[in-house]
Amino acid sequence: MRQDPCDVGRRPNGDQANLKAAGIAVDERGFVKVDAQRRTNVSNIFAIGDICGQPMLAHKASHEGVLVAEVIAGHNRVYDAKTVPAVVFTDPEIAAAGMTEAEAKAKGHTDLLISKFPFAANGRAVSMMETDGFVKMIADKKTHVLLGVHIVGPEASNLISEAVLAIEMGARIEDLALTIHPHPTLGETMMEAAEATLGHAIHIIQKPLKA
């Protein structure tokens, strides 16, 4: 049985904050229920961050805070992010945005383009002597729309932002592959991972892609 992430580490405590006294609805797991504007069932009370659910990340909470401030100021905004990047600050760093292979298939993308481009084939990583890791890209084979990016390696926490922007824009793999990246930089791994997904990376040996 898959373990619930709330069974490890942090647990929601919305049900312990006496929110019921204010009439605020809390779900069975202890998260405060909110709508797309982060408004609770009490119209003049909003909730952001960990207390209103996954992913429990600081940058997601900050985004929600700005959103709520704008809603209160009268702007018409909703939370509609396609992806929230996740980073593990280990050595090497790990970062991810968008879907995994399993998630993509579960959402109906049964035919995928998948590639990995190693940091060992990147000049900047070699000069830094930090060649462990890779950039993995997942795209829909029919549309070439980018679905997910997963990075293990140096500066993964910074590199993932390009992937987030691409996913938010609905970019295709060609958009990344044809974008000129400065040389020599770690950012080139994003461009070359996209090229590898299309089957024509120039710094790694690839088997011909199946039609």
Each residue's pLDDT tens digit, 87-146: 999 999 999 999 999 999 999 999 999 999 999 999 999 999 999 999 999 999 999 999
Element (H, E) at 175: helix 173-177
Q: Would you say residue 204 lies in a domain?
A: no
Is 150 marked active-site? no
Residue holding tokens 């805070």?
65
**In this predicted model, what pLDDT tens digit does every residue of 28-43 receive, in sequence order?**
888 899 999 999 999 9
165-173 own/partner pairs: CB under 8 Å, 24+ apart:
167/82, 167/83, 167/97, 167/98, 168/81, 168/82, 168/83, 170/145, 171/145, 171/146, 172/139, 172/143, 172/144, 172/145, 172/146, 173/113, 173/137, 173/139, 173/144, 173/145, 173/146, 173/197, 173/198
Domain hosting residue 108, numbered range: 86-198
pLDDT number for residue 184: 96
Contact 102, 62 (CB under 8 A): no
Instruction: Choose, from 63, 109, 144, 183, the residue flagged as catalytic.
Output: 183
Element (H, E) at 115: strand 112-118
Of all residues in the chain, what percent carry a pLDDT higher than 70? 91
Q: Which two tokens stand for residue 45?
A: 């009370």
Q: Which of 23, 47, 72 is the last residue of a domain?
A: 72
Task: Examine the domain organization and report whether 95 and 11 are in the same domain.
Answer: no
Task: Examine the domain organization and report whether 140 and 103 are in the same domain.
Answer: yes
Q: Which two tokens stand for residue 30?
A: 């202890």
Q: How far apart are the first and last CA of the chain?
A: 37
Of the listed ranges 4-8, 17-21, 200-204, the least confidently predicted one is: 4-8
Task: Examine the domain organization and report whether 124 and 42 are in the same domain.
Answer: no
